[in-house]
Each structure stands twice: as C-alpha cells, then as structure tokens.
A and B are shown apart, each in its own frame.
Chain A
Amino acid sequence: MKTFHYHRATSVEDAIDAAAQTQGARFVAGGTNLLDLMKLQIETPPALIDVNRLGLDKVERTDGGGLRIGALVRNTDLAADAVVRRDYAVLSRALLAGASAQLRNKATTAGNLLQRTRCPYFYDMRMPCHKRRPGSGCAALKGFNRNLAILETSDSCIATHPSDMAVAMRLLDAGVDTMAPDGMRRTIPIADFHRPPGDTPHVETALKPGELVVSITLPPPVRGRHVYRKVRDRASYAFALVSVAAVFGEDGTARFAFGGLGTRPWRAAAADAAASSGAKAVAEAALAGARTTDQNDFKKVLTARTLASVFRAQEARA
C-alpha cells in the first residue's frame, strides 16, 4: 500500500471540500473493495476521505411515495429493512445473494454501486488491462473469460459488473443522488450511472471527480411478485454467472434486469415488452447484440434457462 493522506470527514460539505483539495482522492466507506485494490496497488489514491461519519445511514420515505436510502446504509441493514422487505423485496433478495454476511455488514449502498470488476486480469498488475492502465491492452479478450460480459462489451474491455444489488436497483429505476464539488446536487438515473466501456473502460460511472453519492432514491414500489434468481458455480460466495431480477405484475406485465451478462447492470425495454410471450422471447430480446467467446457463450443458454425457471415458478403461483 502506498502512503496516502487520510481525512475523516465530519459533514458532506467537508468531504467534498477535502476531495476537491487533492486530485485523485477517493471516498472510503466500508472499504470492502477499495482497500483490497489499494493493497495490490491497482488503486493508489493520494488521499482517502472517510465518509463513514456523515450520518447518511437512514432509510426514509420520500414525499413522492418512494424510498430514500442513505449512501452509508450497510448492505445487511438494507436487506433487513422492513419496508424494503415488503415493498422492494427484489432488492433485499439481491443483497442477500451477494458476498458474505461479514462483507455485507461492512459494505455500503453507495460502495456496492461503485465496486469494480472482478476480472482476474484487472486484479493482476502484471497483465495488460485497459481498465487499470489505459492503452496497455486487454488480456481477457483472448484469455480466461468464462465469467466475463457478453453485453455492451467493446474491443477494449469485456469486464463484468459484479454487483447483485445494482441489478435490483436497475430494475427498480433507482436514482443516484449526488453532491458535486461546487455544491450542486443532482440525481443520476441508474440507467445512466454506469457507463459501458467503449474505448475508455477506466471511466466507469457518470460521477465527476470529487462528486459524492449521498443517497439512492427508489420510486414508489413496483407492485407484483419480486424475484431475484442468481446462478453461480457454488451455493454461496461466488459472483453470478447469470442473475435475473424480475417483478411480475398482477396485470401480466413484467420487468427484468440481469447480472453477470453486462459490463454494467443490464436492462432492455424490449425484454420487458416480450414478457407476455414467455421466457424464450424475453431471453432473445435481452440478449440481442450479445457478443460471446468460446468460454462464455453458455451464458446465452443459461440466461434463457434461468428465465424459464423464473417463469415456471411464476406460473406455478399464478
């Protein structure tokens, strides 16, 4: 770990001011990803601004009938929140499908959204990686890419976004509330928050330098049956090969979001529109434009089969 400055922020304004003072400063909350990356020198921020004491740890109703989740609400607490469990069950289920109890106790809502890929070449400093070192190449394109992305990839990067929680957030049309260094507040729709890699895979979100996530806002609940189905190589503590987040409405409509497939949490309007035509049609719509390798081509079949499983369970209840 390289030496860095550490500042424990006392307010949102203090945090933002501190970030503005040091180029490349990073906010740290749970640290479950960033500290690992620093130990490996994949990230070498000159300053860490600890935001754990900013009090952004409440889950509150919004005036519009939605829910505002503080950036620092721990994954464990969010998954256990009574309102979340009742009205946004897919979010609770997605959270509990991720990581381990110990990690969820530390990891925060904003940190989870901002976690970085688990591509093994990103994690190995000796390997070329455009995301880690722009212009150095991509070892994954022709390397071990069995669990890398098949949607919204580029010739620069096929790294999967690893989060389960973010898939549920995408499904629920969350908004990411931020404060910028100039004090401006804005809400970034989750659909625009993560960026596809293109030829700048190191730019992963719409956040500007020094911009702080303060909360995530969910719109009013989506009524229906909430499902999160995660398929992985072992029963727990593994990243998704494919995951499906879904809400089946009582009127026959449904919406879907996917993990394990995209370079960012994936959602396709055409997939939602195909809901009444069944799992196969939804899979085809969701996977339009998929680009696979010999190793990860199975994700297409697995997506269709996971959807079939989800639809079968839904039909059994209907």
Chain B
Amino acid sequence: MKFDTPATTNPIDQERVIGRAHDRIDGPAKVTGRAPYAYERHDAAPNPAYGWIVGSAIAKGTVGAIDTRDAQAAPGVLAVITHANAGKLGKGNMNTAHLLGGPAIEHFEQALALVVADTFENARAAAALVRIDYKPEQGRFDLAAERDRAVKPTGDSYAGRPDTATGDFDTAFHKATVRVDQTYSTPDQSHAMLEPHATTAAWKDDQLTLWTANQMIAWSLGDVARTLGIPKEKVRLISPYIGGGFGAKLFLRTDALLAALGAKAVGRPVKVAIARHQIPNNTTHRPATIQRIRLGANADGVIDAVGHEVWSGDLPGGEAEMAAAQTRLMYGGANRMTAHRLATLDLPEGNAMRAPGEAVGMLALEVAMDELAEACGVDPVELRIRNDVQYDPEAGPQRPFSSRKLVECLRQGAERFGWARRNRQPGQVRDGRWLVGMGMAAAFRNNLTTKSGARVGIDAQGRVTVETDMTDIGTGSYTIIAQTAAEMMGVELDDVIVRLGDSRYPVSAGSGGQWGANSSTAGVYAACVALRAKVAEQAGFAVEEALFENGLVRSGNKSRKLGTLAGREGIWAEDSMDYGDLAERYAQATFGAHFCEVGVDIDTGEVRVRRMSGAFAAGRILNPKSARSQVIGAMTMGVGAALMEELVVDKRFGFFVNHDMAEYHVPVHADIPHQDVLFVDELDDKSSPMKAKGVGELGICGAGAAVANAIYNATGIRLRDYPLTLDKLLAAAAGTALA
C-alpha cells in the first residue's frame, strides 16, 4: 500500500480502540516473569554454554599475541575464540568498528576474545587467564583539542546534509540589533538501559538462530549474515522482549556475533551478555558535542539570523552528531546557516542514543533562546511565539509543515504550569534554603516515516493475529499494534494476538528515531486493509460497503461472523505501508513545550527539580497511557542530561572511566517530582493513515534546557557546559544569588 496523498476518513478515525488509554497487553507477562528475555531462552535452547567477553585494555594499537593456553586449560572451558581462530569476518553496514578486534585494536574494551565454558563463573574466571600482548599507539581522545582538525562529513546522514545556508547569515548577524553568540558543550553519554546486550545462539546444521535483544531486526539480520559471510536465509533473529534500548540495540553488537561464533565452535547453544561494566566502552554511546549558536534579532526579539555549528568526534568511518538538525526548522529568520564538523577520535564508537541530534541540539538552542529572550527583554514563551514559522524556513513557504502546533503547546503548557507567576528577574525567589526558579524550552523532534510491513490473520474463533518483525523495547508497541488491528477488524483488544520481533515475520520499521509507533501501526493498517478485502470477498460483500464491527463483517442487513468466514484454514493477508513524497513536500516534525521549576540550595548549590510540565503535539496519540509513559521517561532523561549524565573521558588511556551504573548517574526516583503531561489535539493527515506521529523521543528534546533555564532563573548563573553539576555552579557563584 502506498501512502502518497493525505489521508482521508478511515476506520482508525472511529477511535473505538485507538486513541484510548489501554494497559500494555504485554504487562502481565512481564511482571510475572513469563516474558523470557534473550538471555533466558533455556526453553528454546537447552543446555547452553556461557561466553564471557575479553575486552581490550588499550584504546589503540595492535595485538601482538594472544596466549589462551591457561584459559583453555581452566576448569570447564570449552573454547576460546579470537581473531586468530574465528575465521574470516566481515563488518556490518551499521557498525563502525569491528565487533571482534585484532590484530588491529580500534577502541578500548573492543572484544578481543570470547571464553566459552560450561558455567558462567568458569567462563568469567578463565577470561582473566587470557594473556594479550599489546602494542599500543597514541590515540586521539580529546574533542576540544581535535576541534580545529574536524572536517565536513562526506555524504548525507539520516538528518540530511552536513551544512545548510539560506540568505546571508554573516551580514544579517552583524547588522542585528540584539545578538547572542555562545558556545555550549555536552558530554559523551551512555544509554544505560536496564537489560544489557544479550544473546543466546544456536546452530542447527548451517542454520543459525539468535535470540537477542535488538531494536531493528532486519538491519541486524543483514549485518549478521554480512559479518559471518553466510546467506541471510540461514539466519533467524528472535527478539520479542527487550529490556530497554534507547538506541544501544539498534545494531548488531558483539554479544550476538560472539555467541554465534562460540556456538559454532562448541557445537551447542552459547549465551553471551555484555557485562555492565563493559557496556560503555565496548558498545556505542552518544558522542560529546561542542556547539556554537549565534542568534541575531531585532529589539522585539524577531530573529533575522540563525547560526548553529556543531563539532563532534567519532572513529574513522563514523558519523557526526547532527545536533543542528532542529535549528533548520525550529524558528523563522531569513538568514541561516548550520554546519556539522566531525573530528577523528579513538574513543569507542559514537552513535544513536535517545533522540540523536535534537536531544543535545536542543540543550544548546533552547538555552540560547533563553539568552535572547533576556537580551531583548521579551518573555521566553512570547519570544518563541514571535518566531514561530509554519513552513520550513530553509525551503520557504512552498514547503509547509504537515502540522505544527508549537504555539498551542506553548500557550496551553504555560497556562497549566502557571508560567505567569514566574519572576523574570533571576535570583529573587526563595523558599527556605532553596533559591527557586522557573524555566521553559520548546520541544522539537523530527517525524520520520519508514516502510513497514505486517501479516494479519483471522482464525476460526474470530481471533485476529498480527505478525511483524517490529520490536517492543518497553515502549508499548504490542499494545498499539493490537489496538490498530482491533480497530480495523472490528474486534475487541482481547481478541488480538500480537507476535513481534522475529525475522520470519514481515519486515517492519523497527524501533528507533521515534518512527516506530506511527510507521509500524501504518503497516498493520495496510495489512488489515488487505485482510478486510479478502474477508469481504469471502463473504460476498463489496469491500467498500463492508463494515467490520463486533466480530462481524456487515453489509446492508447481512452479516457474517469473522470466525465462520475464516474457518479452519483461516484468512491471512500481508502488506506493507510504503511512503511517497509527502515527507519531501511537507516538513514533518513533532512539537511541544517544557516547563520546569527547580530549587537550588543556597549554600551547597544542589539542584532539585520541583515540578515539570509539558504540552506536546504529535499527531494522533494512539494510546495516551503508553504515550504518557514514554514522555515522562523522556523528560526524566532530559533531567539526567541537564544535571548528571556524563561519561568521563580519561584522555591518557582513551576510555570512559565511570563505566558502571553506580558511577554513571541517571536520575533516581528521588530526583523526579510529579510530571504533568498534556497532549494537544492534533491529527496529521500527511504522516500516515494513522494520522499519528512519533512521540517517544519528543519528551527529551528541550527538557534539559528547561532545567538549565530554571537554574538561571533561580540563581542568575548561566552554565553552558553540561552536566550542570554543583561544582560548576559554585565556581560561578560570585556576584549572584548563590554567592
């Protein structure tokens, strides 16, 4: 099915099941332990052996020799896999560094060996006996030091070209009455999902099955085949339950590759999890950025010049963090420039994490907007309203937004939060030992649509089954897919069975970039349209006259039970939703407004978020309950980015030092107050027949900037180097309310 003209009225618009708050249908299985995760598939792969990964102790160089004799002689050890005996391995399209290193070492903790033993403990103990002779080389680990050597990335990324320019930025900026020119920095960050990367692998003859935690089944299936040098048809990925991803599990990682190699070597199933302390350096992370933002405006705050330059680093062959992406679309202004520069760093691989691009881009842009509001003497909410633009400001009015309710979010959010009570003079409000401040920021995240397929069937009991390789990483995919099928086929939610995350099922959008919900349900919609046609035909009804309700298909005064029509054979249909050029003709994005109140301890500089409120417009909200959960989780991540999350680089050794969850801080319950979420009514007929857009990542984009702006309002201290920890506040306290 092709989606190339705006959606008209369709069965989804009934909102009988869609658009209503439903508990997650996978919830009971998960909370009772009946939803097995990748490392727990003893049912499917009995008698597994256990693998433990040996990671590189240096960041760059070569392996001289790997002495595995003691490890191989250790109790219970079945095999030791290294580059020397693994056979020829390719590299996945989505991987920058090799998943099994050696002889070249590309980054710290890169896997150099897998020890396979009869028990987990034996594998781990023997791993300590693997002796590796390193030949270290000098690496580059300091983004600030490499900034001047950064280059324009070759080729386009998912977020478009590296550079854009419209009008004459330099002239307009210099002529502007009010100018903001500031540099912001964000650190490397780790996904910190609860479930580590984990895989159980088993071979049957030349057929490989991987039970693995993976967000993107089709991408990773291809990369498994590519890396092992075997046909895709010989590989099956099964990933029905995933304990969080946040981008960490978008790609094939070393757990899956090494489990496959280990299982081949020992002739029985092997399971491998990347240990918690290995994850930050072995896998991907969000790379650090340095961002310069220049805003030129008239005295009323109307922007005439917008410039956003971003520097980030990655391994050779890696990609830039597209942190200026939102600046191309966010506010008006005739004279614009954005630029991304990429430095070569020998740190572990930088890649997608929790709204790549905008999550850190908004940490800079929305603080710059706060600075502009102050410089102009315009209220920050009003400033954003004055600079709203209903079309892509780089392309001009011929490319309108498909829908853009930023102003509604700003107004309704401000009202709910009580923004009018804010004292715009910083450092004036005191509550006991707390300096109290309010801050706000806009929210922006792109809306991407991508081809997604599904297979839908009806059985003799009238139950509807959906099969698609879509994944549920804790987001609620199972539930919204079931809602979609129930709505389309006229059955109850309880009558829908959803099967996900198996490469035998039709290829879906997968989970990433907040494209999953809208795209995967649109694919289910397409398959249901095909199924409705088959059912109508079976019933002898004209499909355009057929109504699907209460488990029946009805036409005029005739009706048939779906189960009866399906019979013992069942009726199945498969289709996918493919997209035309609507995303080119219309800019598609999601919008919102974050409001935050913080307290800053007048003595110690401790920052505590007191309340948060957000208003969001993201098309049809398919399930307000799971969407709210997504958004408050994202707002929490915004607090983390603002206040505490940082992978600390040891620039001597080239690794992230705080590589466990005790030392890499994410917010705990005590850090997060009540979070108020409002979804602003919106239907986007150019996004898909679902008229929905992504929402999962919108909540993070801007949330941290609202915290930063609230800290400024509380104290008068403007910090531009994240995370905003108390030592930085105390260093800047002189002459402020915190003095």
Contact = CB atoms under 8 A, between A and B. Distances in A.
B727 A309 contact: no
B727 A143 contact: no
B660 A123 contact: yes
Contacts of A41: 125, 128
A252 to B, nearest CB: 22
B603 A309 contact: yes
B730 A302 contact: yes
Contact of B671 (A2, A236, A241): A236
A3 interface: yes
Interface string B629-666: 00000000000000110001010110001111011010
A309 B725 CA distance: 18
A103 to B, nearest CB: 11
B648 A144 contact: yes
B277 A308 contact: no
Contacts, number: 92
A269 interface: no
Contacts of A85: none
Contacts of A245: none
Interface residues of B, number: 38
A231 B604 contact: yes
B463 interface: no
Contact of B726 (A120, A237, A241, A312): A241
B604 A306 contact: yes
Contact of A120 (B128, B657, B670, B730): B657
Interface string A130-168: 000000000100111010000000000000000000000
A293 to B, nearest CB: 12
A144 B662 CA distance: 15
A312 B433 contact: yes
A146 B665 CA distance: 14
A146 B726 CA distance: 12
B170 interface: no
B608 interface: yes
Given A302-B727, A308-B603, A309-B601, A234 B125 contact: no
Contacts of A223: none
A206 interface: no
Contacts of B277: 40, 123-124
Contact of B657 (A143, A236, A302): A143
Nearest to A309: B603
B715 to A, nearest CB: 14
A231 B606 contact: yes
Interface string A152-190: 000000000000000000000000000000000000000
Interface in A28-79: 39-41
Give chain A's interface residue range (CB within 8 Å of chain B): 35 or more
Contacts of B145: none
B726 A121 contact: no
A288 interface: no
A1 interface: yes
Contact of B670 (A2, A233, A236): A236
Given A144-B658, A302-B604, A309-B433, A236 B669 contact: yes
B648 A309 contact: no
Nearest to A145: B657
Contacts of A234: 643-644, 665, 667-668, 670-671
A24 B121 CA distance: 21
B653 A127 contact: yes
A1 B126 CA distance: 9
Contact of B604 (A40, A305, A313): A305
B124 A143 contact: no
A318 interface: no
Contacts of A235: 608, 668, 670-671
B75 A3 contact: yes
A306 B281 CA distance: 35
Contacts of B652: 142-143
B94 interface: no
Contacts of B128: 2, 41, 125
B31 interface: no
Interface string A87-120: 0000000000000000000000000000000101
Given A233-B665, A308-B603, A146 B671 contact: no
Given A118-B663, A298-B727, A312-B433, A3 B125 contact: yes
Given A305-B603, A306-B603, A146 B668 contact: no
A125 B128 CA distance: 10
Interface string B534-549: 0000000000000000
A301 interface: yes
A146 B57 CA distance: 23
A45 to B, nearest CB: 14
Contact of B731 (A146, A298, A306, A312): A298
Interface string A186-208: 00000000000000000000000
A144 B187 CA distance: 15
A143 B650 contact: yes
A126 interface: yes
A217 to B, nearest CB: 31
Contact of A305 (B124, B605, B657): B605
B726 A302 contact: yes
A308 B733 CA distance: 15
Nearest to B125: A2
Contacts of A40: 277
A241 B605 CA distance: 12
Given A120-B658, A235-B668, A238-B665, A301 B730 contact: yes
Interface in A282-298: 298
Contacts of B667: 234
A1 B652 CA distance: 29
Contacts of B124: 1, 39
Nearest to A142: B652
A1 B663 contact: no
A233 to B, nearest CB: 6
Interface of B: 57, 75, 121, 124-125, 128, 277, 433, 601-606, 608, 643-644, 648, 650, 652-653, 657-660, 662-663, 665, 667-671, 725-727, 730-731
Given A143-B652, A233-B643, A312-B433, 16 more contacts: A120-B659, A139-B653, A143-B650, A146-B727, A233-B644, A233-B726, A234-B643, A234-B667, A235-B608, A236-B670, A236-B671, A238-B665, A298-B730, A298-B731, A309-B602, A313-B433
Per CB-CB distance, the 4 closest pairs between chain A and chain B, nearest first, are A235-B670, A309-B603, A298-B727, A236-B670
Interface of A: 1-3, 39-41, 118, 120-121, 123-127, 139, 142-144, 146, 231-238, 241, 298, 301-302, 305-306, 308-309, 312-313
7 contacts: A1-B124, A123-B660, A139-B650, A139-B653, A302-B605, A305-B604, A305-B605
